Amino acid sequence: MGIFGQGIIYKTTAEIEIMREAALVVSRTLGLVAKHLKPGVTPAELDRLAEEYIQSQGAISGFKGLYGCPSTLLISVNEQVVHGLPTDTPIREGDIVSVDCGAVYKGYYGDHAYTFEVGEVSPEKKKLCMVTKECLYLGIDACNTANRIEDIGYAIQQHAEANGFGVVRDLVGHGLGKKLHEEPQVPNYGRRGQGKRIQNGLTIAIEPMINMGTWKVKTLPDEWTIVTEDGLPSAHFEHDVAVIDGKAEILSTFDYIYEALKL
């Protein structure tokens, strides 16, 4: 899902503050989802809740209608990597469920994601989620003005592969602003010191998509849902960041999720 434009659009302090508000609309929406995501609930029910909530915040869904997307949330279960369309199939105990959400507030996008563990999940799935979240924060740490774009992916790739996991190549993080997908593309793999130099005012979504097995993926016949080629589980975490005073500041937060889950 994505069409990239030409050139990086660096943001002013004022624009970054609006983007923070947009990101926090998404953060609060994911917090609401966290309260309701239990065995037996359907992705379609969560999608309806999220759409109503986003509208109540004076924002609109960032995904619905964009590129023909039919939903407010993209909900990807187990071997689904990303872009899972919400269905009426109930979520089950032991599933891991990536919930990706976008919102537009005052003309700017927020876009982030969290992979939830439903009830008791296997130790292997638990490790996958933990490492993927660690990858996210390692990528964020690498997003500073001493580095270049591929340093972000290098940090993510090293940690994921050291734990025996596959790093999805076909999908990447991205610039964010008045469009959901701006330059630069932000791969979750890379070589040290490659890519554009990171500068103040850069606003990007960093989103490792890490697979338990192969990095290879395929798209289902619905032309949206992307799954692992070997059918093993995948995890996905995403934050919006802005580069301020030389380092990445996280605009989104998982705090509402942690509060709902009592973590």
User: pLDDT digit string (tens) for 146-175?
Assistant: 999 999 999 999 999 999 999 999 999 999
Residues 6 or more apart whose Cβ sits within 8 Å of residue 137: none
**How far apart (Å, rounded) are the C-alpha atoms in residues 51 and 69?**
13
Sequence ranges of the domains in the chain: 13-261
Span 56-105, pLDDT tens digits: 999 999 999 999 999 999 999 999 999 999 999 999 999 999 999 999 99
Question: Of all helices (H) and strands (E), which one includes residue 186?
Answer: strand 182-186
Cα(110)–Cα(179) distance, integer angstroms: 10
Picking from 18, 28, 109, the residue whose alpha carbon sits closest to that of residue 61 is 109
Q: Topology of domain 13-261, per CATH?
A: Creatine Amidinohydrolase (3.90.230)
Residues 65 and 32: their CA atoms lie apart, in Å, by: 22
Per-residue pLDDT band at 2 (split at 50, 70, 90)? very low
- Tens digit of each residue's pLDDT (9 = 90 or more) over 9-45: 999 999 999 999 999 999 999 999 999 999 999 999 9
